[in-house]
Structure 1
Amino acid sequence: MDISVIICTWNRCDLLRQTLQAFGGLCVSADVEWELLVVDNASTDNTHEVVTEFQDLLPVRYVFETRQGKSNAANRAVRESSGKILAWTDDDALVSSDWLTQVLTVFEATQADIIYGRVEPWWETQSPAWFTEQMSGRFALLDHGDECRVMSPEEGYGYGVNYAFRRSVFKLIGPFAPDLGPNGGLGFGGEDTLLFRKAHEHQLRVVYSPDVLIKHFIPRERCNRSYFRRRQWRGSRDELRMMRLRHGAPKGMLGLPRYRYRQAFSDLIKLSKETLVGKYDKVFHLELRVIGFAGLFWNAVKSSCRGFFFFRKPVQDQSSQGPSGLDEREH
């Protein structure tokens, strides 16, 4: 099998239908052997029925994962898939007609271990007035320019809506961390970021290509400030977990790096100045960073007092135990 395309989904069957319809428009060479694996993370809607609708149109396979959490679904996908390359997208994305072809082309041309691509918005409504380039990442939008190139850790990471790994990557750096990522509508993320960071630590070749293009759905309810304030506050729990999974408890007050205190103070000063001169819409991202630090600080306090992570005991980083224990296929 050349490539397995993976979608992990939870209770978004209507959006999933549109995503699968876009896959029906893929232009794929007849000599490419591929599969589309949909991992249902214990949905209670009509996800199974929607996938069944496309079985005559697409090489799609349905898998039901009972353990809640996107990371659990992703790890199940790795075990179930057969491709030498694993390409990931989401249940709220529209692939371009040449997406799969471009993924394979970039791997062959660059000898990459990991590739990720451009993500453009698919707005349900108009973009909000406070949407700026600095907010793009919070909508999982990505554009690193028009040049295909090898990326350094400092240049950022891809998003789960549009990246692809060689299977060998998982054998080297281990599975997705089950303690990170969305979980039944809760949770913030971080599972993809942690995987990219491990890849760079192992000096793997990470390549960005603007031609690997996907559109990402942005619903109306995400186009308001209150949504992002809540998400930023709640997401600080996962950020703390990710920090500790990677480094343990770093030096600094409450185990938080000193630079985070300096950055939060600087953000607060800039936010205050810009708000006073009527430019608040342009600096909403600074407010969110301040909220994020406040949440991080609060969770660090709770962690320090209780002696374990906020509300959940951290899962040991399985990648430190040697082989991933996923599927040791040789491709």
Structure 2
Amino acid sequence: MKISVVLCTYSMDRYPEFQEAAESILKQTYEDTELVIVVDGTEEVYERVQTDYGTNPNTTIHCNDQNRGLSYSRNTGAELAAGEVVAFLDDDAVAASDWAERIIDAYKRYDALAVGGRMVPDWLSTKPEYLPEEYYFLIGVTYKGFRETEGYVRNTFSSNLSFDREVFLDLGGFRTEMGKRGENDLQGGETELCARLERETGERVVYVPDATIEHKIYEYRTDRQWLLERAFWQGYSKRRMAEIDSDATSTERQFLRQLLTDFIPGRFAELVISPSVTKLEKFVMLLVFTLSVGVGYLYALVPDTS
């Protein structure tokens, strides 16, 4: 069973990180691995990619005619892929050497239609003590409250998510109005797609926590203001997804219940029993991020009068 890993990129500023991502796929322990590189309309990047990887027999390279966005690029990569399984990796992430092997193993054991793994942080600056693990999803890594053991989930992060290629194409891939494109930051394309997968096939994503990918956490991603804005747009995106598919936000509703009944009371109890500045900061930020997500959700309800 061949696995094709779609890696999209567009900027020379991120080229060293892109190379790390690409090399992590080309050095997988699972031999039947294809790397599909989609350059999103940047000719300079495309020429450099052709120079570095154009002669590699395990690599397919494509350049969009213009900047089309991440979702469009991923869909294009899936169409070009030769594997029975198509997976996605961000250009600021690095796959563990046995990642593909563990993903394919899950397909065989579960006869799965989709498989995802765990995202772990690669801190490029000091780890912020004020950031509660419950909100690690703001920085694109697996968070406290997510399933810890192997089994079925609605979705994983799109940078550690794979599908049976035929099923992915039959579903129509990612919605192109979602995902990064320029300044657009409508999040949750993988959530909507996986909700669609479950609705149309009755199947969910198999989560394999041992199939790990490291996500680079740049210093700006630990800035409080950046995180608050990210939380706001998370809330906004969740409301927009609910408008598309009311079942797509079931996991978020469950997480909110966990926050209100478990995580917030638990952190408050820890703070009272054994107070510290770090615990106080985490508790306060837990409340602030929750409020920011809520404000973003409510903002999405405001009618657009433009």
Pairs within 5 Å for 1:9-28: 9-11=9-11, 12-28=14-30
- For 2:161, give the aligned amino acid: Y
Post-superposition offset of 1:213:
1.5
Larger CA deviation: 234-243 vs 107-116: 234-243
Q: Deviations along 1:161-197, whole A, 9 cap, x unmatched?
A: 1111002322443321111111124314210111121
Post-superposition offset of 1:212:
1.3
Relative distance call for 1:240 and 1:42 in structure 2 (3 A) is farther
2:202 corresponds to? 203
Runs of 4+ in 1 over 6 A off after TM superposition: 261-266, 273-278
Post-superposition offset of 1:57:
4.9
Relative distance call for 1:141 and 1:194 in structure 2 (3 A) is same
Aligned equivalents of 1:186 and 1:173: distance in 2? 23
Aligned equivalents of 1:215 and 1:206: distance in 2? 20
Aligned equivalents of 2:259 and 2:94: distance in 1? 36
Aligned equivalents of 1:189 and 1:74: distance in 2? 15
Relative distance call for 1:45 and 1:224 in structure 2 (3 A) is farther
Relative distance call for 1:93 and 1:265 in structure 2 (3 A) is closer
Post-superposition offset of 1:205:
4.1
Aligned equivalents of 1:99 and 1:171: distance in 2? 23
Post-superposition offset of 1:35:
1.8
Aligned equivalents of 2:159 and 2:300: distance in 1? 28
Aligned equivalents of 1:204 and 1:146: distance in 2? 20
Q: CA RMSD in A?
A: 3.6
Q: Deviations along 1:241-265, whole A, 9 cap, x unmatched?
A: 22211149xxxxxxxxx99x99999
- For 1:191, give the aligned amino acid: G
Instruction: Work out whether residues 140 and 159 of structure 1, in 8 Å CA contact, stay in contact via their aligned partners in 2.
Output: yes
Which structure's residues are more often helix, by fraction? 2
1:2 aligns with 2:9: no
Q: Which runs of 5+ in 1 are unaligned?
A: 249-257, 312-331
Q: Which runs of 5+ in 2 are unaligned?
A: 248-252
1:244 corresponds to? 243
Relative distance call for 1:146 and 1:189 in structure 2 (3 A) is closer
1:215 aligns with 2:217: no
Relative distance call for 1:74 and 1:109 in structure 2 (3 A) is same
SS at match of 1:215: strand
Q: Deviations along 1:255-310, whole A, 9 cap, x unmatched?
A: xxx99x999999xx98xx8999865421323312211221222232133xx3xxxx
TM-score normalised by length of structure 1: 0.75
Pairs within 5 Å for 1:258-297: 279-283=279-283, 284-297=285-298
Instruction: Work out whether residues 179 and 189 of structure 2, in 8 Å CA contact, stay in contact via their aligned partners in 1.
Output: yes
Aligned equivalents of 1:189 and 1:44: distance in 2? 27
